[in-house]
Chain A
């Protein structure tokens, strides 16, 4: 499990407050699978102290991309990195999404920044011959991930809350139309979105990516333990991908 000091290749604002960061990561990138994450050092001193867990957004050979929103001092620091700066990452970590052997029709549901790991999954699925449908919801058109950056053979369906592009409404509302078609669902978004999905009582495998505070990412601190139907689980190591039905949504506090 390498800790790698990566060269920044590019870092551009893609949507308001969100950045696409490409890193030269020859030790980490080739091993990364969709749904896995890296722990990113977001300072050159002790403040902010902890690494930030960010899901792997894309991999191109030895290059690795992160797509992240600026939500605090750590991601602010990361947004200021320029080409030829260095960023320290640890990973890849976590279990990753798993496509079941019998699944043909893959439905990917991305709420807002939740698109970050699903682009990697869509890329991998398309490369393996699947034709996934990717539903992407956002508050408005400006916050939508640019379509030109999506891999070919990915069928994109958009939903915006203000109706400025695609369907008016939430990603989960759009999702309902494709449920019958789908053999398997993969989702990433806010917990509220997962709660809405859990209320649908879906009769097919649904995998979701959980986001919690992590300190070490390695199972060393036990800071990320949650109760599930299968007992206590560490989000960092047993997750971050869980079956929707495994999580006790009513008692989940983050």
Chain B
């Protein structure tokens, strides 16, 4: 059989575009800035790396405990602990500029203006291939309601970022909404080049000995295999609702999982919590997708994307 074609274009509407040599990326917050994991695996073989969620100023994050294991899942409340955009530009981007693997910077803000300032700071920075906008953050101008739970504010953030950047913009949607397709439509309409579906599900655990919430900050985000069916459904639904590429994320831990997301309509996938269990899992997933394509006589990954859609 001829050589397999695994490459995908994730930002067809963007002038710069975002070509990935394969559709398997690592999700924000699970892979640091990429360099931490370099001693363990050949990170250059990844489709892309999404770095730790980044804010204008460095943030110390939430108090301990930040992690609680649940049934086939993980609750986290890291609290956007990060080095801030200036240190990222100074210390990380120059390294990324020497890498073959594209690095996508995940940005998070507390006001629409903060998102725009972050995007503006990252404009023209060598080593940054795209932006991923985390809209699951509390909006300080709207009483702490998350940007991503309201189609109007979600679209405002998207438009504000798009206006100041020439980079492809992915928007990472929150699953903690009544109708994710409505938010997806608003964000796509506002100019998003691609949508990452989904961020973590809100959750909590109680420490019965202390009779208090177990996480230091009280509530957190649930990830891992436990959320896969929810994420898969949301990808399936969003892929029907919008024209822009969808990136599937949520509980992906094997090639089988990744193939399910591709067939549900995702053009690419992000592996998150599974990186903690096996730092090499994303590379194993790439190999597993290739093996499946060979076995099934599929020459181009495009033939699989959305294959399970009606």
CA distance in complex: A221, B273 (Å): 9
Docked complex Cα distance between A41 and B37 (Å): 18
Interchain CB contact under 8 A, A227 and B225: no
Q: Which positions 1-56 of chain B face chain A at CB distance < 8 Å? A: 29-32, 36-37, 39-40, 52
How many chain B residues touch A (Cβ–Cβ < 8 Å)?
36
| Distance A218 CA – B41 CA, assembled complex (angstroms) | 12
Give 1 or 0 for each of B270-293: 1 = CB within 8 Å of chain A CB: 000101111110000000000000
Interface check B203, CB cutoff 8 A: no
A50 touches B32 (CB 8 A): no
A1, A51, A212, A237: the one contacting B276 at CB < 8 Å is A51
**Nearest CB on B from A4, distance (A):** 12
B72 touches A49 (CB 8 A): yes
**A237 proximity list for chain B (CB < 8 A):** 36
Chain A residue at minimum C-beta to C-beta distance from B31: A220
- Determine if B277 and A3 form an interchain contact, defined as CB atoms under 8 angstroms apart: no
A223 touches B36 (CB 8 A): no
- Does B64 lie within 8 Å of A226, measured CB to CB? yes
Given A215-B276, A227-B60, A46 contacting B225 (CB threshold 8 A): yes
Of residues 211 through 250 on chain B, the ones whose CB sits less than 8 Å from some CB of chain A are: 216, 224-225
Query: Total interface residues on A, using CB and 8 Å?
Result: 30
Closest B-chain residue to A50, C-beta based? B69
Q: How many angstroms from the CA of A203 to the CA of B279 in the assembled complex? A: 42
Given contacts A47-B71, A219-B36, A221-B30, is CB(A253)–CB(B276) below 8 Å? no
Besides A50-B276, A222-B52, 15 more A-B contacts (Cβ < 8 Å) are A46-B224, A49-B74, A49-B225, A49-B277, A50-B277, A213-B65, A213-B69, A218-B37, A220-B32, A223-B67, A224-B67, A225-B60, A225-B61, A227-B60, A232-B81
Show 30 residue pairs from A and B whose CB-CB distance is below 8 angstroms, ordered by the A residue.
A3-B278, A46-B225, A49-B73, A49-B74, A49-B277, A50-B74, A51-B276, A90-B40, A213-B65, A213-B66, A213-B67, A214-B67, A215-B74, A216-B276, A218-B36, A218-B37, A219-B36, A220-B37, A220-B275, A220-B276, A220-B279, A222-B61, A222-B81, A223-B76, A223-B78, A225-B60, A226-B64, A232-B60, A232-B81, A254-B65
